[in-house]
Amino acid sequence: MKHSKDDFVVLQKAYDLVVDLIPRIHRFPRSFKFTLGDRLENCALDVEQLLVEARWRRDRAELLDRANARLDRMRYLLRFAHDFGLLKIRSLGFLAGKIDEVGRLVGSWRKKQTVSP
C-alpha cells in the first residue's frame, strides 16, 4: 500500500497533540483526573490509533469519520476543563488550535477517499 507525505503529516500532528495534552491532564486535580482527564486522554489516543490504522487500510473512510468524531468530543471535553478551571484560556486556545489543525488534515484525507478509492 502506498503512503503519502500527507499521511505522515496528519499522524505527526495527532502525535504532537497527544504529547502536548497528556502533561496538562496529569496536572488536573484528582477529582477530575480520573473522569474528565481519562476521557480526554482516551479520545486523544483513540484519534492517533485510528489514524495509524487508517494509514494501512484501503477503506479508510469509516476510521477517518470516527477520528473526526473523537476530535469533536475532545473539543467539548476541553471546554468543560476550561469551565471547571482546569485549563487556562491560553492552554484551551493552544489545544483547540491543534485539534482544529488535525481535524482539517483528517477532513482533507477523508475527502480524498471519496474522490479516489
- Domain boundaries along the sequence of the chain: 5-115
**What does the radius of gyration of the chain's CA atoms come to, in whole angstroms?**
15
Across the chain, mean pLDDT equals 93
The per-residue pLDDT for range 1-33, each reduced to its tens digit, is: 556 666 789 999 999 999 999 999 999 999 999
What pLDDT, on a 0 to 100 scale, did the predictor assign at position 102? 98
The per-residue pLDDT for range 33-74, each reduced to its tens digit, is: 999 999 999 999 999 999 999 999 988 999 999 999 999 999
Residue 113 CB partners (closer than 8 Å, separation 6+):
60, 61, 64
What pLDDT, on a 0 to 100 scale, did the predictor assign at position 28? 97
What pLDDT, on a 0 to 100 scale, did the predictor assign at position 6? 67
Q: Which CATH architecture has domain 5-115?
A: Up-down Bundle (1.20)
Environment class of residue 102 by beta-carbon count within 10 Å: exposed (0-12), middle (13-18) or buried (19+)? buried
| CA diameter of the chain | 47
User: 6 and 44 in contact (C-beta within 8 Å)?
Assistant: no
Residue located via cell numbers 484528582: 30
